[in-house]
């Protein structure tokens, strides 16, 4: 009989007819979809499928067996809210049109049936074997591994009583925000703004910043940018049209249209070129700002802005108190309500955690129908489907055996009242449970009680002491920092494109390349393009890569034009300068100094205000929760109470009765749980990907990013809100779901589901998906931002949009997003499951048993002889090892005079894994962020101590020869022997990066003195001998040991002649980087080497900040890394600057391929190869920022995180902000 595993999915597609349909899951009817609850009928659509959509197990958008449909509703007209819920509907429909291939739908259905069958067999096996019985009720109900004791002990009566207290509290706190609550918010924001704020005369000078802004405003011309976009857009359009050219035209009209495709490209290029040339000249004029990071430089505005924030909130507080009718502006009664609520929650607080993490998370997953009662309900009918006979190698007898063997578990399902019980929730109930969890969390975190919250007397006294603010005199001070921030955000977009470095010359060259190819084929007499040559023109455009290169250049600029608003940027610069005088005036006003006086007066109540602010946020959440939320949670608790009544009865029926069909029963009991888990995870991953593709923000994250900006519109700015905005931008700017979504769609298009005939085709399907990028991301910080804004958002539509985003985030965060891992093991798991079923339903014949016994006997005899042979071999190896050790120890085989070179041992892996996907790189980058400066400072100090305390032994066994002491620049900097250079003995160590680039970290050559030998000739010999193509030199040319001619010309050093063929500034205008082309000739051996040297000037050992930007160094390293020969990096001591240069490349290359490797791990691996590598913590901080820059630019990650981190680093390294007392920068 043919092995059944070869036909595990035979006929998976045989029963499916060809063609495409818009309906895949017939089990989801229009009527059922239309019953989906909505919060706002005008905006929430039944097809949104948010986290809490009613979880009928057949309602997946692209379900196992059929299709879904729903009636579309229009979005609200003229809605300017970016996260438009109407767009969700249209996007979901577009996704369905793209991926609703009935062949794929049938294939997914059958894989799901196999997963359900595997899970059912395992569940029955566990029940038979009585494995972890206390978890089985939770598994059957699909609520995770919850202990039966926990479920029984849940006191739903106490929960409902507590919810009554919550409802009463909500009614008593009222719907309106009291003056007392606002007072607490104002005081908290003032306290937050003034915390650790230095005196005004200690603020950094803003003069240079303002002058530079003015210079930029004078040079910047917004029209130069905006005039270039329409011509470029035209080029993009005609290139897209030309890309569809095919040589199939037959009529004159069609031929003329084909010719026009090419002439349109020529015409659009010629029209656009003058605009691009003018823009390129404008960018050249702006290139002096390429290293001037506006986001970093505007940090001089941060402290004045914080002071103005405090002034603003004190003015608002004073105005409110003057008009307030509340007695002493107190909210003590509301605080007492919270005290009572806290006491009543003590017995039920943890239950809401279970609601969130188990009841909601598991029961609402797209894959919920693969397990538990839901799977049993579906499988009871699916097991009789005709395709099962072929796909699982069934026949009438085997099907009877399988059904009979599963009778116990199906009997359990039929006899259980819980089998049709579901804890899945609708959308509004899900939101209510999430909000109730937040309220419980606030209560749980609350420390103490409100009896000590009385500070009204102190507040009145402090306000009286400082007097009221003349707000008209200082109100304009808020504008200048605001516009500097807006300008900085726009300018960072321009910097990220590197246009200020590269200009538009590459685009102009692409224009010329495409034009020259097309013009080359024009008729020499008429200068026209003939139809007969079009195929040749198109082929050359394609094969040369010119058209594709131009298209990428144009698309890149079009993307830039969508992000960068040149006119708004110039307006922001102008407005900053206009309002700057108001800021300066405010800083000199008496009100600014009085703010410090008020802060000092009220400082004793800092803790009270923090606790009060916590309670005010709790009040905000309670109001937002409202009576409607209470009703939804109560309904859910009552549902739990019904479940509890059934659990006691169900528990007694979990023990399955034995069956008379012993063979298949006993064999089914042996199923491997690991194989089942792999099948389940693989099918679940496919379902999760389908669910993700329905979410608009996966494909249009920019709309979701803008949600908080729109919510913030018109809301008072504060330090708290700026921190939240920054957290939101950092998080949403680096969600990398689009690549995975596109990968999945493209993979489905590649697979021909019609050809799936046997088990190997399952492996084809999963093989195609193995390379899907990882999508893991920590959503907690983003969810926390949404949790802050949702309760204070007054606009119903915008609040609903925020709820929608939060629901999507929560749903995704509950998914296992490591799809590639599950797909890699899926095919093997399906095959093994087929083998398992084959074995279960195949009975051994007597002759087969005889053959098996004979084979075992023969194998045992062979095994005896193998043991004898292995014993002999091991004896010979042992004797040889002893002889070799003695010979080595006695040095019988060593000839010291002939050995001049030792093996370099650096323990680098022979092969590295490939780079991580972009989304994982984002996580690696985010992990480097400076959250708290003190923590980061301690990290850098610990790494510096590691460098200084590490062993610096120079001992190494024979034949290693220690370096001559006269070749040490500094005797205190010892030479690490295992990576020491060997071909020419100088003070240097060898490094190899992940991509194979070899670096030599070296001392610079020295001239002869009383302490030192002249090492210049040996240095040049090393270059020639090892064929080096690049040198990076970090020192000035006026130091000793120079081995080249300054300026064009030649110089002789021993037997070597060094000619400087050219000497230019890096990038055309860099003041600190010189690029030389050197030709080194060995007069003795008649060898010549051409070497490119990058000299970084003005870089002294231990200097606070390097004279080179991370961007410049990354460009140099990228060029040098292309070399297959050693890259020599040297500075006077060969440490500090040398190790910063190599470290940026070495560490970033290691971290980009290893998700688990931290910066500390890679740093220690680096410094272990060269002693005394670094001298200051500032060097280590600069290096970590550089690593973040390299990871960002090389993997297409936005530079916002780098800018934020570098800004924080400069604050620490230059200004000393955030450093412990007594530490000097």
The pLDDT assigned to 398 comes to 75
Contact between 1022 and 985 under an 8 Å Cβ cutoff? The reply is no
How many other CB atoms sit within 10 Å of the CB of residue 522?
Answer: 17
**pLDDT tens column, 371-413:** 888 878 888 888 777 776 666 666 677 777 888 888 888 888 8
Report which secondary-structure segment, H or E, holds 1087: strand 1087-1096
Average pLDDT over residues 526-547: 84
CB burial of 975-1000 (b: ≥16 within 10 Å; e: otherwise) equals: bbbbbbbeebbbbbbbbbbbeebbbb
Using alpha carbons, list the distances in angstroms from residue 173 to 332, 440, 621, 649: 11, 17, 11, 43
User: CA angle, 146 as apex, 376 and 120 as ends, to 5°?
Assistant: 20
DSSP letters along 1150-1181, please?
Answer: HHTT-TT--HHHHHHHHHTTSTT----HHHHH
Average pLDDT across the chain, whole number: 79
Count of residues for the chain? 1225
The pLDDT assigned to 654 comes to 63
pLDDT band at 1030 (very low <50, low <70, confident <90, very high): very high
Q: Kindly tell me if the per-residue pLDDT of 365 is higher than 60.
A: yes
Q: Which of 14-28, 288-302, 719-733 has the highest mean pLDDT?
A: 288-302
The pLDDT assigned to 56 comes to 33
Using alpha carbons, list the distances in angstroms from residue 335 to 177, 184, 612: 14, 12, 8
The pLDDT assigned to 1005 comes to 95
CA distance 553 to 542: 15
CA distance 619 to 613: 10
The pLDDT assigned to 1074 comes to 94
Report which secondary-structure segment, H or E, holds 281: helix 252-286
pLDDT band at 888 (very low <50, low <70, confident <90, very high): low
C-alpha count within 13 angstroms, C-beta hemisphere, residue 43: 18
DSSP letters along 350-408, please?
Answer: HHHHHIIIIIIHHHTSTTGGGSHHHHHHHHHHHTT-THHHHHTT--HHHHHHHHHHTHH
Q: Kindly tell me if the per-residue pLDDT of 676 is higher than 70.
A: yes
The pLDDT assigned to 1 comes to 40
Average pLDDT over residues 126-138: 77
Dihedral (CA of 438, 442, 444, 445) sign: positive
pLDDT band at 894 (very low <50, low <70, confident <90, very high): very low
CA distance 1075 to 1003: 20
Q: Kindly tell me if the per-residue pLDDT of 821 is higher than 90.
A: no
The pLDDT assigned to 801 comes to 83
CB burial of 839-876 (b: ≥16 within 10 Å; e: otherwise) equals: ebbbeeeeeeeeeeeeeeeeeeeeeeeeeeeeeeeeee
The pLDDT assigned to 10 comes to 30
pTM of the shown model: 0.61
Average pLDDT over residues 569-593: 93
CA distance 924 to 912: 17
pLDDT band at 94 (very low <50, low <70, confident <90, very high): very low
**pLDDT tens column, 1208-1220:** 898 888 888 878 7
Contact between 822 and 816 under an 8 Å Cβ cutoff? The reply is yes
Q: Kindly tell me if the per-residue pLDDT of 218 is higher than 60.
A: yes
The pLDDT assigned to 445 comes to 83
The pLDDT assigned to 1216 comes to 82
Using alpha carbons, list the distances in angstroms from residue 316 to 183, 456, 713, 720, 812: 9, 16, 18, 17, 41
Contact between 1017 and 1083 under an 8 Å Cβ cutoff? The reply is no
CA distance 800 to 789: 11
- The 3-state DSSP class for residue 936 equals helix
Closest CA relative to residue 901, chosen from 1005, 967, 981: 981
pLDDT band at 229 (very low <50, low <70, confident <90, very high): very high
Average pLDDT over residues 912-921: 84
Contact between 693 and 741 under an 8 Å Cβ cutoff? The reply is yes
Q: Kindly tell me if the per-residue pLDDT of 767 is higher than 70.
A: yes
Which is more confident, 299 or 1221? 299
The pLDDT assigned to 29 comes to 32
Q: Kindly tell me if the per-residue pLDDT of 968 is higher than 90.
A: yes
1152 bridge partner residues: none
Dihedral (CA of 480, 485, 489, 495) sign: positive
Look at 130-134, 216-220, 841-845, 1101-1105 and tell me which has the smallest mean pLDDT: 841-845
The pLDDT assigned to 818 comes to 83
Sequence-separated (6 or more) residues with CB below 8 Å from residue 1058: 1020, 1043, 1044, 1045, 1050, 1051, 1052, 1078, 1079, 1080, 1081
Which is more confident, 780 or 709? 780
**pLDDT tens column, 1012-1026:** 899 999 999 999 999
Question: Order of strands, edge to edge, in the sheet holding 988-992?
Answer: 988-992, 998-1003, 1127-1131, 1030-1033, 1087-1096, 1073-1082, 1056-1065, 1049-1053
The pLDDT assigned to 586 comes to 92
CA distance 948 to 942: 10
Report which secondary-structure segment, H or E, holds 1052: strand 1049-1053
Sequence-separated (6 or more) residues with CB below 8 Å from residue 804: 44, 48, 50, 83, 85, 88
Structure tokens at 655: 């023990």
CA distance 293 to 495: 8
Which is more confident, 711 or 172? 172
- The 3-state DSSP class for residue 988 equals strand
pLDDT band at 655 (very low <50, low <70, confident <90, very high): low
**pLDDT tens column, 855-867:** 445 555 556 667 7
The pLDDT assigned to 77 comes to 32
Based on DSSP, count helices (H) and strands (E) in the chain, helices before strands.
51, 8
CA distance 555 to 577: 34
The pLDDT assigned to 731 comes to 64
- The 3-state DSSP class for residue 518 equals helix
Average pLDDT over residues 901-910: 73
Contact between 1188 and 1202 under an 8 Å Cβ cutoff? The reply is yes
Average pLDDT over residues 1080-1094: 90
1074 bridge partner residues: 1065, 1095
pLDDT band at 423 (very low <50, low <70, confident <90, very high): confident
Q: What percent of the chain has pLDDT over 90?
A: 29
Q: Rounded to the nearest 10 degrees, how much is the dihedral formed by the CA atoms of 339, 340, 341, 343?
A: 90
Q: 762 burial class (0-12, 13-18, 19+ CB within 10 angstroms)? A: buried
The pLDDT assigned to 1071 comes to 82
Q: Give Rg (Cα) of the chain.
A: 36
Contact between 1018 and 1004 under an 8 Å Cβ cutoff? The reply is no
Report which secondary-structure segment, H or E, holds 762: helix 760-769
Q: Rounded to the nearest 10 degrees, how much is the dihedral formed by the CA atoms of 248, 252, 253, 256?
A: 80
How many other CB atoms sit within 10 Å of the CB of residue 299?
Answer: 20
Chain position carrying tokens 């680093």 = 1209
Which is more confident, 810 or 55? 810
Average pLDDT over residues 895-921: 70
In the DSSP assignment, the letter for residue 443 is H
Sequence-separated (6 or more) residues with CB below 8 Å from residue 861: none
Closest CA relative to residue 83, chosen from 812, 811, 817, 808: 808
In the DSSP assignment, the letter for residue 815 is S
Average pLDDT over residues 1065-1074: 84
Report which secondary-structure segment, H or E, holds 709: helix 707-712
Which is more confident, 103 or 946? 946
**pLDDT tens column, 60-90:** 334 453 333 333 333 333 333 333 333 433 3
Q: Kindly tell me if the per-residue pLDDT of 715 is higher than 60.
A: no
Average pLDDT over residues 668-696: 87
Q: Kindly tell me if the per-residue pLDDT of 447 is higher than 90.
A: no
**319: left (phi > 0), else alpha (psi -120 to 50), else beta?**
alpha
Average pLDDT over residues 652-663: 55
Q: What percent of the chain has pLDDT over 70?
A: 81
Beta-strand relationship, 998-1003 and 1127-1131: parallel
The pLDDT assigned to 952 comes to 82
Structure tokens at 256: 């003329």
pLDDT band at 1201 (very low <50, low <70, confident <90, very high): confident
CA distance 1159 to 1156: 10
pLDDT band at 507 (very low <50, low <70, confident <90, very high): very high
Note the maximum CA span of the chain: 106
pLDDT band at 326 (very low <50, low <70, confident <90, very high): low
The pLDDT assigned to 332 comes to 78
**pLDDT tens column, 278-293:** 999 999 999 888 888 8
């Amino acid at each position: 009989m043919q092995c059944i595993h070869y036909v595990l999915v035979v006929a998976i597609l045989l029963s499916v007819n060809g063609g495409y349909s818009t309906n895949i899951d017939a089990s989801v009817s229009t009527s059922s979809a239309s019953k989906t609850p909505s919060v706002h009928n005008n905006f929430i659509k039944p097809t949104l499928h948010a986290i809490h959509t009613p979880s009928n197990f057949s309602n997946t958008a692209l379900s196992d067996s059929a299709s879904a449909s729903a009636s579309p509703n229009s979005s609200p007209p003229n809605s300017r809210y970016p996260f438009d819920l109407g767009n969700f509907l249209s996007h979901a429909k577009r996704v369905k049109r793209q991926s609703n291939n009935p062949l794929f739908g049938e294939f997914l259905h059958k894989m799901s049936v196999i997963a359900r069958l595997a899970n059912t067999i395992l569940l029955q096996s566990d029940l038979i074997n009585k494995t972890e019985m206390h978890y089985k009720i939770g598994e059957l109900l699909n609520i995770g591994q919850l202990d039966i004791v926990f479920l029984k002990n849940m006191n739903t009566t106490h929960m409902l009583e507590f919810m009554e207290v919550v409802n009463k509290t909500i009614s008593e706190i009222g719907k309106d925000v009291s003056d007392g609550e606002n007072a607490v918010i104002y005081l908290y924001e003032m306290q937050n703004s003034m915390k650790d704020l230095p005196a005004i005369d200690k603020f950094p000078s803003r003069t240079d910043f303002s002058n530079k802004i003015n210079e930029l405003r004078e040079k910047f011309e917004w029209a130069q940018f905006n005039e270039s976009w329409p011509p470029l857009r035209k080029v993009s359009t005609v290139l897209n049209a030309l890309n569809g050219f095919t040589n199939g035209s037959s009529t004159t009209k069609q031929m003329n249209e084909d010719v026009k495709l090419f002439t349109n490209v020529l015409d659009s290029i010629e029209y656009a070129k003058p605009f691009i040339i003018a823009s390129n000249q404008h960018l050249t004029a702006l290139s002096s700002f390429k290293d001037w990071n506006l986001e970093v430089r505007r940090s001089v505005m941060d402290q004045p802005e914080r002071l103005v924030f405090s002034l603003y909130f004190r003015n608002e507080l004073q105005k409110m108190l003057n008009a307030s009718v509340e007695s002493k502006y107190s909210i003590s009664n509301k605080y007492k309500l919270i005290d009572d609520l806290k006491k009543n929650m003590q017995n039920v607080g943890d239950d809401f955690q279970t609601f969130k993490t188990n009841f909601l998370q598991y029961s609402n997953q797209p894959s919920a129908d693969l397990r538990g009662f839901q799977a049993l309900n579906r499988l009871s009918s699916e097991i009789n489907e005709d395709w099962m006979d072929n796909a699982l190698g069934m026949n009438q007898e085997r099907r009877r055996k399988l059904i009979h063997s599963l009778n116990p578990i199906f009997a359990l399902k039929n006899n259980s009242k819980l089998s049709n019980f579901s804890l899945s929730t609708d959308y509004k109930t899900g939101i209510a449970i999430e909000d109730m969890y937040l309220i419980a969390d606030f209560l749980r975190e609350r420390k103490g009680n409100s009896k000590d919250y009385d500070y009204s007397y102190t507040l009145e006294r402090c306000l009286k002491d400082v007097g009221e603010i003349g707000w008209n005199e200082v109100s304009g001070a808020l504008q200048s920092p605001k516009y500097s921030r807006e300008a900085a955000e726009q300018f960072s977009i321009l910097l990220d494109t590197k246009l200020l470095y590269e200009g538009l010359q590459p685009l102009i060259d692409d224009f010329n390349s495409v034009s020259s190819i097309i013009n080359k084929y024009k008729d020499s007499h008429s200068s026209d393009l003939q139809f007969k040559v079009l195929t040749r023109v198109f082929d050359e455009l394609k094969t040369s890569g010119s058209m594709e290169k131009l298209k990428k250049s144009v698309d890149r600029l079009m993307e830039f034009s969508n992000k960068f608003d040149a006119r708004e940027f110039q307006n922001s610069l102008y407005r900053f300068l206009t309002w700057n005088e108001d800021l300066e005036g405010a800083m000199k006003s008496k009100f600014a100094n009085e703010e410090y006086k008020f802060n000092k007066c009220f400082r004793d109540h800092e803790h009270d205000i923090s606790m009060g602010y916590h309670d005010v946020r709790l009040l905000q959440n309670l109001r937002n929760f409202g009576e409607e939320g209470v009703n939804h949670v109560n309904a859910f608790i009552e549902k739990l109470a019904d479940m509890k009544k059934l659990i006691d009865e169900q528990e007694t029926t979990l023990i399955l009765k034995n069956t008379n069909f012993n063979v298949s029963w006993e064999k089914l009991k042996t199923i491997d749980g690991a194989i089942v888990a792999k099948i389940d995870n693989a099918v679940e991953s496919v379902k999760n990907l389908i669910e993700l593709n329905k979410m608009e923000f996966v494909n249009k994250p920019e709309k979701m990013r803008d949600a908080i900006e729109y919510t913030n519109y018109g809301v008072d700015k504060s330090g708290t809100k700026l921190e939240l905005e920054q957290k939101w931008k950092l998080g949403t700017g680096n969600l990398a779901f689009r690549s995975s979504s596109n990968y999945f769609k493209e993979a489905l298009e590649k697979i021909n589901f019609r050809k799936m005939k046997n088990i190997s085709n399952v492996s084809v399907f999963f093989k195609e998906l193995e390379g899907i990028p990882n999508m893991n991301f920590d959503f907690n910080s983003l969810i926390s931002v949404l949790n802050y804004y949702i309760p204070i958002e007054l606009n119903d539509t915008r609040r609903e949009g925020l709820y929608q985003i939060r629901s999507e985030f929560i749903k995704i965060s509950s998914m296992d997003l490591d799809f590639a891992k599950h797909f890699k093991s899926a095919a093997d798991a399906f095959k093994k499951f087929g083998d398992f079923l084959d074995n279960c339903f195949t009975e051994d014949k007597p002759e087969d048993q005889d053959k098996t016994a004979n084979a075992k006997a023969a194998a045992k005899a062979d095994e005896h002889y193998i043991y004898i042979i292995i014993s002999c071999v091991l004896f010979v190896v042992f004797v040889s090892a002893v002889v070799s050790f003695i010979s080595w120890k006695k040095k019988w085989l060593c000839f010291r005079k002939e050995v001049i070179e030792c093996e370099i041992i650096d323990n680098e892996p022979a092969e590295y894994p490939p780079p991580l996907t972009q989304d994982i790189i984002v996580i690696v980058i985010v992990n480097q962020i400076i959250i708290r400066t003190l923590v980061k400072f301690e990290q850098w100090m610990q790494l510096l101590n590691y460098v200084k305390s590490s062993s610096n032994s120079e001992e190494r066994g024979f034949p290693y020869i220690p370096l001559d002491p006269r070749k040490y620049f500094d005797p205190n900097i010892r030479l690490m022997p295992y990576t020491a250079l060997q071909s020419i003995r100088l003070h240097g160590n060898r490094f190899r990066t992940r991509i194979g680039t070899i670096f030599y970290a070296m001392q610079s050559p020295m001239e002869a003195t009383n302490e030192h030998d002249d090492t210049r000739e040996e240095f040049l010999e090393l270059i020639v001998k090892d064929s080096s193509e690049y040198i990076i030199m970090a020192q000035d040319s006026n130091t000793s040991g120079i081995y080249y001619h300054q300026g064009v010309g030649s110089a002789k050093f021993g037997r070597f002649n060094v000619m400087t063929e050219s000497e230019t500034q890096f990038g055309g205008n860099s003041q600190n980087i010189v690029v030389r082309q050197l030709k080194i000739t060995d007069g003795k051996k008649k060898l010549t080497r051409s070497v490119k040297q990058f000299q970084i000037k003005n870089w002294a050992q231990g200097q606070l900040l390097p004279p080179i930007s991370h961007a410049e160094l990354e460009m140099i390293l990228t060029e040098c890394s292309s070399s297959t020969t050693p890259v020599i990096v040297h500075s006077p001591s060969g440490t500090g600057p040398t190790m910063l240069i190599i470290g940026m490349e070495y560490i970033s290359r290691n971290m980009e391929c290893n998700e688990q490797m931290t910066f500390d791990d890679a740093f220690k691996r680096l410094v272990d190869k060269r002693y005394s590598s670094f001298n200051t913590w500032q060097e280590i901080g600069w290096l970590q920022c550089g690593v973040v820059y390299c990871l960002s630019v090389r993997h297409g990650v936005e530079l916002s995180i780098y800018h934020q981190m570098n800004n924080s680093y400069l604050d620490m390294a230059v200004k000393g902000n955030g450093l412990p007392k007594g530490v000097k920068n």
